[in-house]
Chains A and B, each alone.
Chain A
Amino acid sequence: MSATAESIRLNLTPAVRYVLRVADTALIHAQRLAEWCGHGPVLEEDIALTNMALDLLGQARALLTHAARLEGQGLDEDQLAFLRDERHFFNLTLVEQPMRRSSAHAPGGDFADTVLRNFLLAAWFKALWSGLMLSNDLTLAAIAAKAQEETRYHLQHAGDWVVRLGDGTEESAARVRAALQRAWPYTQEMFVDDAVDADAAASGLGPARSSLCVGWDAEVAAVFGAVGLAVPPATPFLSTGTLGRHSEHLGFMLAEMQVLQRQHPGGRW
């Protein structure tokens, strides 16, 4: 029986924080999507959701590897994924919300939630990769150029589903509207700037979140407009996952995601 692994501590420069926000959003989104593996409503959808999870995991891996290089302690992407504490994850709070499974505090399992979240995030990633492709960090630009092509398929897939459900039966339309009500308060965090964004924009590392709003709005308006989905009114709620302060759901998810590396440090296939 080996000792459990200690958590790592990172030297969090603004650039490391910036890259981790993107990496962690892709990683945690991938982990939630992977919960559908073997549970999709139809075989094609099961395959699609897990394929998208795999793309996102690959993007996260490249970004975590790069974050580790910028951070400078000689860590690798596995250590960053499996040995950080919750407060050192910087993903958007939306991606950690329950998706397939319910928790004590939030509903899960409605396919409309998955579809809608995938759509909102694919549109966000599309705008983000477009900006990151122009980064003066050439590794980051190369990762973004690769990811952009994959995200096109995700956005098309999710957009088609929003239309199909929104324009389907009364039941499916009601479920998409309810899913939108649940997801919408978390979207504000996608576009709010702080010092990390300002630093990245000024140094040419990548776009500030506020600049992603224009492209995202256009994607959302096109799909929502096609099925008469109304954007809910803004609320004062601002989630703070990108600052490392998470909802109650991330801790449970990390406990499951990290258990193997925590209990068997350095374990390999």
Chain B
Amino acid sequence: MRGALVQDREAEAWAALDGVPDPEIPVLSLRDLGIVRGVRLAEPGIEVVLTPTYSGCPATEVIAESVRAALEAAGLGPVIVTQQLSPPWTTDWITSEGRRKLRDYGIAPPGAAAADVVHIRPRHVECPRCGSAHTERLSAFGATACKALHRCLDCREPFEHFKPL
């Protein structure tokens, strides 16, 4: 009986987290992004373990605050948010649903983030607008820490690429 209640509250917490968007790429939820490392029931309330994407990501505090607000609104508070660095987040943790949402939003999703220099010079990143693989990278750094600037050589549109990390 108690076990079922615990599971219900955890499921409620995950459902609430589904509704929390990433502040910089609001089509993605925190769960899509893969930065919610765990949810644990505390007595009273709930503990959420988050992991940062980049060391200097300025959204980290905003994310922690929105997690707190969403869970409190769902009646699951008080909320403890903890940060865990290890193992480091990689773009491989972005869900397939998250990758689809990124593409639909106009951001090319990341490829596999193998620790290989080849992958940080991505070639033929698919244009999220026309689907062409005839594209080039303009800069490895973009408007946020996690994105690079590319250009499609067929439809000529610039686009962003969520770079593999």
Measured CB to CB, the residues of A under 8 A from B are: 44-45, 47-48, 51-52, 54-59, 61-62, 138-139, 141-143, 145-147, 149-150, 152-153, 156-157
Shortest CB distance B104–A (Å)? 25
Q: Are A153 and B140 in touch, CB under 8 angstroms? A: yes
Q: Are A52 and B55 in touch, CB under 8 angstroms? A: no
Q: Are A48 and B87 in touch, CB under 8 angstroms? A: no
Tell me if B145 is interfacial: C-beta within 8 Å of chain A. yes
Q: With A47-B143, A59-B55, A150-B54 given, is the CB distance from A141 to B90 under 8 Å?
A: no
Q: Are B141 and A141 in touch, CB under 8 angstroms? A: no
Chain B interface, >50% SS class: loop
Q: Are B55 and A146 in touch, CB under 8 angstroms? A: yes
Q: Are B85 and A62 in touch, CB under 8 angstroms? A: yes
Q: For residues 37 through 56 of chain B, which have their beta carbon under 8 Å from a beta carbon of chain A?
A: 52, 54-56
CA distance A54 to B140 in the complex (A): 14
Q: With A153-B140, A156-B120 given, is the CB distance from A147 to B86 under 8 Å?
A: no
Q: Are B87 and A44 in touch, CB under 8 angstroms? A: no
CA distance A126 to B11 in the complex (A): 41
CA distance A156 to B140 in the complex (A): 9
Count of inter-chain pairs, beta carbons less than 8 A? 75
Q: Which residue of chain A has the shortest Cβ distance to B139 in the bound complex?
A: A44
Interface band, chain B: 20 to 34
Q: Are A156 and B141 in touch, CB under 8 angstroms? A: no
Q: A150-B55, A153-B163 are in contact. List 20 more A-B contacts (CB 8 A).
A: A47-B139, A48-B140, A48-B141, A51-B141, A51-B145, A54-B54, A54-B56, A55-B56, A58-B52, A58-B54, A61-B56, A142-B85, A145-B87, A145-B88, A146-B55, A149-B165, A150-B54, A152-B117, A152-B120, A156-B140
CA distance A141 to B120 in the complex (A): 23
CA distance A47 to B143 in the complex (A): 7
Tell me if B27 is interfacial: C-beta within 8 Å of chain A. no
What are the residues of chain B within 8 A of A62 when measuring CB–CB?
Answer: 55, 85
What are the residues of chain B within 8 A of A55 when measuring CB–CB?
Answer: 54-56, 145
Q: With A54-B58, A62-B55 given, is the CB distance from A142 to B86 under 8 Å?
A: yes
Interface string of B52-70 (1 = CB under 8 A from A): 1011111000000000000
Q: Are A141 and B86 in touch, CB under 8 angstroms? A: yes
Q: Which residue of chain B has the shortest Cβ distance to A139 in the bound complex?
A: B85
Q: List 8 A-B contacts (CB under 8 A).
A: A44-B149, A47-B142, A48-B141, A54-B54, A147-B55, A152-B120, A153-B163, A156-B120
What are the residues of chain B within 8 A of A146 when measuring CB–CB?
Answer: 52, 55, 85, 88-89
CA distance A95 to B120 in the complex (A): 26
Q: Are B140 and A157 in touch, CB under 8 angstroms? A: yes
Q: With A47-B141, A48-B139, A157-B141 given, is the CB distance from A57 to B56 under 8 Å?
A: yes
Q: Which residue of chain A has the shortest Cβ distance to B53 in the bound complex?
A: A146
Tell which of A44, A45, A138, A157 touches B86, judged by Cβ atoms closer than 8 Å: A138
CA distance A51 to B143 in the complex (A): 9
Shortest CB distance B121–A (Å)? 7
What are the residues of chain A within 8 A of B57 when measuring CB–CB?
Answer: 58
Shortest CB distance A83–B (Å)? 21
What are the residues of chain A within 8 A of B89 when measuring CB–CB?
Answer: 146
CA distance A141 to B85 in the complex (A): 10
What are the residues of chain A within 8 A of B15 when measuring CB–CB?
Answer: none
Q: Are B85 and A143 in touch, CB under 8 angstroms? A: yes
